[in-house]
Amino acid sequence: MFKFLTSLFRKKADSVDSFLMYPEGKRYYRETHSIRRTNIDEDAIKIINRLNKFRYKAYLVGGGVRDLLMGKRPKDFDIVTSATPNQIKRIFNNCRIIGKRFKIVHIIFKGKIIEVSTFRSLPEHRLEKHKADNDYLIKRDNSFGTAKEDAARRDFTINSLFYDPKNDSILDYVGGFDDIQKKIVRVIGDPDISFKEDPVRMLRAVKFSVLLGLDIEKKTKLAIKKNRLEIEKSSSARLLEEYNKMFRTWKTSQIFHGLAENHLFEVLFKESIDRLKKTDPEWKEHFLETPLGKRLAITDQLLSAREEMTPAIFYSLIFYDIVSDIFQSDKGHIAHNIKEALQPVFERMGIPKREQDNLVKIFISQPRFLVTDDEKERQNSFFKKKDYFYDAFMVYKIVALSENNEAAVQSAFFWEISLRQRPKPDSHNFGQQQNRKKEKKRPPRKKMRGGRGPHPGRQQQGGEGQNPEPSPESNERGTNREQESHFEPREPRPNRTEGEDEA
């Protein structure tokens, strides 16, 4: 009872309004911003209008608003609302509730998914006195709140703007509109607490600064350096997903340069950089001139030239310096030595077993590209049919170009002349769980020949006028029809965790 009374009358260190630049919300109307409804997905507008019809507040939020203000084309449109997931589900038939830490709703249209989330409340520890040794990592987050609370608890000011299609206005609680004009990435609230809540925000700050041409605000930049080791607390699946997003930007080398300058690269990929740190203490400043930086820059160039690159290629290039000495060594078996060298990295980064095996095969194959004898045409043809050949070849080619190795480049040219194989469709989903169970089809039933009587073991019940038993094919028509109507979204979006819905 005493604890209850003390907690009831205890003064809180802060209120929600203390995190907001405009506690009542500042409106920017059509005359002051560049967002037009013609640039917004029609289905997203329909969802907002329908929620408003049922008297729920609903806005476009996050990266979609940010990108439109910056004159860029959004990759998706996310919606935030006062309706709870169950209330949303009662309004829309074409939806599903997903998520563990925070439940959100995917509304499904043909060829796309629009994500709708409920306003979230500010974490309780934000309103209490901060202690340096407290663990603020958000593990579960299903508390609903108001629009201003939702804005206050997001990651960066540029991702916390709401667009209201009812009057074509932008609602700003945190000063994100001004930060976009000033081209600044700024954390909402105390960056030390924000980065401890979700360490992946540090990666995202660097990524946004590179992709959007923004400067990281000084206080935010200092907090990244101070809290860089917090990144080790992030889930491996979350980090792998974030890396995969970076690999698709065509600017991986520049993002990694930013990670190096902000002291994150040596925490994320410390095994890959250990040797470089010993030989070049200033490697952070001229990361793009390092062997790894050159490999990534060439990969970005090939991507811009419409070459196809999978995450396995990028990881192989990142880990290449760990195993490069093994190719010239005569000690032991190459496969065993490569596995032994990479196993600590695989375990620390949480790379799934299937991807581990694929990466090892890519590295084992590297010396094979030196064999270009015409007498081994049959063996070469067999090698090209391997499912990992494309990835292995691209790694060999990129390394040869980065090292300016003329002999290796000529070998790559030999293999590339007849290259036809492309990566598998699922090769871009590195580290993501995939359902590989195939539906078992029953073999077709053999037709009975006339004049031989009933099927052995079957009791005849109706004479000549008896209706035939339905065929297995007719039993499967309903299932097949459902499969045909199923569609794949533009980009697989796994269950969201905190931070992901903020971009």
Residue 292 burial (CB count, 10 A): 24
Q: Which of 67, 78, 150, 198 is catalytic?
A: 78
Instruction: From the candidates 67, 141, 155, 321, give the one annotated as an active-site residue.
Output: 155
Separation CA 159–CA 60 (nearest Å) = 11
**How many angstroms separate the CA atoms of 406 and 395, rounded?**
16
CA angle 193, 199, 204 (to 5 degrees): 110
Taking the mean position of all CA atoms in its chain, how far away is CA 6? 44
Number of residues that this document lists for the chain? 503
Q: Which two tokens stand for residue 42?
A: 């029609």
b/e burial code for range 79-114 (CB count within 10 A of at least 16 → b)? bbbbbbbeebeebbeebeebbeebbbbbbbbeebbb
How would DSSP label each residue in 45-91? HHHHHHHHHTT--EEEETHHHHHHHTT---S--EEEESS-HHHHHHH
Query: Is residue 190 annotated as part of the catalytic site, yes or no?
Result: no
Residue type, 371: V
- Token duo for residue 394: 């691209």
Answer yes or no: 155 catalytic: yes
Distance, CA of 419 to CA of 394 (rounded, Å): 11
Six-digit token string for 146: 């108001």
Nearest to 197 by CA among 125, 103, 117, 100: 125
- CA of 226: how far to CAs of 136, 260, 290, 358, in Å? 15, 14, 25, 36
Which entry of 76, 192, 321, 391 is annotated as an active-site residue?
76
Catalytic residues, which ones?
76, 78, 155
